[in-house]
Structure 1
């Protein structure tokens, strides 16, 4: 497997553990496969820990300390960085997303989190948590908007979104909120910060009728796909599964409108919202 580059521990909460794990493993003369075998995880998974792509869970940290003779280093530090501003089912995906070089995503019923405006995100979280305090909602929104800073870099990651037409037509928060949200997505596309396509209703049956898709690629680790449902989510690195999801995304991109036509449709729907003419 490709040797991962040295990471700056200050730039990534998992970088210190990843670097130290690699150094300790190599000092012990173990391959990634040999270290992962007793944990029933692949050598690729160990490589993802070392590259800072995956989060180290406590059960792994305890084992590494015992196997590598690191005197509790991994357990102590794993516990120290375990807390996340994101829900448990999404925390590891958000951390992987932050170091991805390419993110491809198909969204069915809502605009992806990285592309949401503040008003749109507030409406989404209020729908998810109808009895939550405003302080709780504000915290969720702040975390989502902080994630969106990932797109502040002009080139990395490459973000390619395929939006089902339903995500444009489902009115979240009223016409003004939707118009602002769609104008924001179109603006990112026109500034060449993202690639955005719309999968129109007229496309009919398609490769991902069952739900959303997200595929993330990295410089020093194998790709990951993320599957999500209500209050659940899981990162998958099985090569066959990742290959299948990549094919599904390729088929969705082929079935969707080209980027120029997609932006025109997004603009048209935004204009309908602005003039109160939206008809789901």
Structure 2
């Protein structure tokens, strides 16, 4: 679905929500209280500024007695089968974000991955799937990465643990290409990348990835991931706490110039390794 038609569909979602809420004789505050969000959030849903989470859409159906209408519409708009169910909503939010900040403790973030790197990651976790399955996943991730090439691309800031630079995902040659790609994105000023060095020792969010997203007309969100599950946070107090933790990581990381030098050095190390095998 193109971005224009997707936005139109969300506007339809909001219009229907407002109509059915008013038919039920409820204010935005009334409905928000019953589905455990603020009245302001309901207003943002109705104006298509913000997209509700699935559990909120389900509760709206229950309160307004709409027989699953909003859940079905949500799934039609959000549920992209190329992505895990818990991540599909994050992909939707990325398209409207004005700023994306990530911390990656073990793997290169999806928006920075090369196709060869993505393929290696997918194969490692899915050794018995078909080539077609892998190709679909690689294509989907590449389409996500195009977000950084657009004229309205978000400000993208990523902190990589030094561990990410060392693991030869896909082999030394693939890893060298991957790190070269990140270095090129930095040179083009398409992204800003810092490296959290081993020397830091213990650090906040030990071993946990996090992604923060900011929007022009909606509150920020935070996303964290565990084993085959994800958690999208939009509670203002929780998001503020995650933002504070991210600031600590940023303060502990190497400056951008030193980070770039370390990335390029790691690429050369992988390239030398590839040439000797």
- Which band: TM-score by shorter chain? 0.7 to 0.9
Mapped to 1, the partners of 2:270 and 2:121 lie a distance apart of 18
Q: Determine if the alignment matches structure 1 residue 20 to structure 2 residue 19.
A: no
Where do 1:215-234 residues align within 5 Å? 215-234=212-231
Residue deviations 1:36-73, cap 9 Å, x none?
A: 22222333543553314445565245347547xxx986
2:78, 2:88 within 8 Å by CA — same for their partners in 1?
no
Quote the offset at 1:138 in angstroms.
1.1
Question: Distance between the aligned counterparts of 2:227 and 2:200, measured in 1?
Answer: 27
In structure 1, the partner of 2:42 is 46
Mapped to 2, the partners of 1:180 and 1:33 lie a distance apart of 52
Counterparts of 1:90 and 1:186, CA distance in 2: 27
Alignment pair present for 1:174 and 2:171: yes
Hey, what's the Cα distance between the residues in 2 that align with 1:268 and 1:114? Answer: 22
RMSD over equivalenced CA pairs, Å: 2.7
Q: Number of residue pairs matched?
A: 268
CA distance in 2, matches of 1:239, 1:111: 28
Q: Is the 8 A contact 1:19 1:51 kept in 2?
A: no
Q: TM-score, normalised by structure 1?
A: 0.85
Distance 1:76 1:169 in 2: 44
TM-score, normalised by the number of residues in structure 2: 0.86
8 Å CA contact retained: 2:223, 2:230: yes
Which position in structure 2 is the counterpart of 1:98? Answer: 95
Are 1:62 and 2:61 matched, yes or no? yes
Q: Which one is further off, 24-33 or 195-204?
A: 24-33
CA–CA separation in structure 2 for the residues paired with 1:162 and 1:208: 12
Q: In the superposition, relative to structure 1, how do residues 100 and 131 fare at CA in structure 2: closer, same or farther (>3 Å)?
A: same
Q: Where does the alignment leave 5 or more consecutive residues of structure 2 unmatched?
A: none
For residue 200 of structure 1, the aligned residue among 197, 219, 232 is 197
Structure 1 position 149 matched with structure 2 position 146: yes
1:205: Cα distance to partner? 1.6
Which residue does the alignment assign to 1:10? Answer: 5
Which residue of structure 2 aligns with residue 243 of structure 1?
Answer: 240
CA distance 1:80–1:155, change in 2 (3 Å): closer
